Amino acid sequence: MIAGREGGCDCGKVRYRFKAEPIVVKCCHCHACQRQAGSAFILNVLIEPDNLELLGEEPEAWILETASGKGQQNMRCPHCKVSVWSVYNMAGDGVYFVRGGTFDDTSKVEPNLHIFTESKLPWVEIPEGVEQFPQFYSGKDIKRAFGEEGAARFRVALGG
Ligand SMILES: [Zn+2]
Ligand SMILES: [Zn+2]
């Protein structure tokens, strides 16, 4: 269960609470994510802005690159500069991609799907049966990868 859980930046000035379960939890293994995280991948917990309650200060937007080439507004704490969520230009502002590692309790953050596995570090093992894509998924994969409810919420969040 993610609903009701809180998280935030390193210094604690930007804080959030999930008001609902995520649309989906994605693990991105692209090199841009690896570089931005300084680690093996980024965990993105997708949620509608209405379902993300802001408890602290407003984060500030940094423009970063993405594997799609369309870029993202990466929302960071104005003080400690830790990245808390992103708005991807490819998906629009109807869905926030909250950084999974920023939850107070990260133990419940488990990806439903993995993308850009072509650049996945070889020692990262994806559990059997979990959806994975060498690059990005296409529209026809969303229902399978997000589940019926997640796919419906994602469609609404995208404005379609
Ligand atoms: Zn901070
Ligand atoms: Zn990525």
Average confidence score pLDDT of the chain? 95
Ligand 1 centroid to residue 66 C-alpha, Å:
23
Ligand 2 centroid to residue 155 C-alpha, Å:
21
Ligand 2 centroid to residue 53 C-alpha, Å:
25
Measured CA to CA in angstroms, residue 160 lies from 17, 91, 143, 152 at distances of: 26, 11, 15, 10
Give one DSSP letter per residue of 81-129, joined into a string. --EEEEEETTT-TT-EEEEGGGBS-GGG---SEEE-GGG--TT--PPTT
Distance (Å, whole) CA 81 – CA 95:
21
Ligand 2 centroid to residue 37 C-alpha, Å:
10
Model confidence pLDDT, tens digit, residues 2-48: 999 999 999 999 999 999 999 999 999 999 999 999 999 999 999 99
Ligand 2 centroid to residue 6 C-alpha, Å:
23
Ligand 2 centroid to residue 27 C-alpha, Å:
8
Domain 6-157, what architecture? Alpha-Beta Complex (3.90)
pTM over 0.75, yes/no? yes
Which listed ligand is nearest to 36 at the C-alpha?
2
Which listed ligand is nearest to 43 at the C-alpha?
2
Ligand 2 centroid to residue 44 C-alpha, Å:
9
89 or 111: whose pLDDT is higher? 111
Which listed ligand is nearest to 102 at the C-alpha?
1
> What is the pLDDT, as a whole number, of residue 51?
98
Q: What's 17-84 look like in SS3?
A: EECCCCCEEEEECCHHHHHHHCCCCEEEEEECHHHEEECCCCCEEEEECCCCCCCEEEEECCCCCCEE
Residue 96, token pair as written in the block: 């926030």
Residue 95, token pair as written in the block: 């869905």
Which listed ligand is nearest to 77 at the C-alpha?
1
